Amino acid sequence: MCTKMKVKILQWHGVASWTWNAQDETCGICRMAFDGCCPDCKFPGDDCPLIWGSCNHAFHLHCILKWVNSQTSTPLCPMCRREWQFKG
Partner 1 sequence: MQLVDDADGALDSWARFCDLSDELFGGAGDLSAGPRLAPVVADLCARGLAELLRDQFIRSLEGIFRSNAVKKFWQQFHPYCNSSAVERIKFCVQENWPEDILSKALEDICLEKNYQEKCVLALVHSLQSYEDRSPHRKSKALDCSSSLMPRYQLMVSSVLLTTLPLSFPEILNVYFKKKLEELNIMMAGLDGSDPFDNHDLFERNSTSAWHSEMDIDGQEPGISESRNLVKNIGKVVRDLRYLGFTSMTEDSYSSAIIWLLKSKVHELAGDDYRIPVLGCVKKWIQAVPLKFLHALLTYLGDSLDNESGSSGLKSPLASRPSSFPGIGVPSEALVRWHMRLEYFAYETLQDLRIGKLFEIIVDYPESSPAIEDLKQCLEYTGQHSKLVDSFISSLRYRLLTAGASTNDILHQYVSTIKALRTIDPTGVFLEAVGEPIRDYLRGRKDTIKCIVTMLTDGSGGNANGTGNAGDNLLEELNRDAENQENVDYDDHTNIDEKQAWLNAESWEPDPVEADPLKGSRNRRKIDILGLIVSIIGSKDQLVNEYRVMLAEKLLNKSDFDIDSDIRTLELLKIHFGESSMQKCEIMLNDLIDSKRTNSNIKTSLSKTSQTVGTVQEETELSHEVLDATIISSNFWPPIQTEDLTVPASVDQLLSDYAKRFHQIKTPRKLLWKKNLGTVKLELQFEDRSMQFTVAPVHAAIIMQFQEKPSWTSKTLATAIGVPVDSLNRKISFWTSKGVLTESVGPDADDPTFTVVDSTSDFNKNSTVNQLSERFQITEEEGESSIASVEEQLRKEMTVYEMFCIAEPSYDKSLQQLQSFLSGLVSDEKLEMRDGSYLLRK
Residues forming contacts to partner 1 in the complex (CB under 8 A) are 1-21, 33, 35-36, 42-46, 50, 52
Task: Kindly tell me which of 1 and 74 has the beta carbon lying closer to partner 1.
Answer: 1
| Dist CA 10 CA 33 (whole Å) | 38
Nearer to partner 1, 3 or 74 (CB): 3
- Whole-number Cα distances in Å, 55 to 6, 44, 63: 54, 24, 16
> Which of 35, 70, 65 has the alpha carbon at shortest distance from 53?
65
Q: Pick the closer one to partner 1 by CB: 42 or 81.
A: 42
In this structure, which amino acid lies at residue 66?
A: K
Per DSSP, the three-state class of 86 is strand
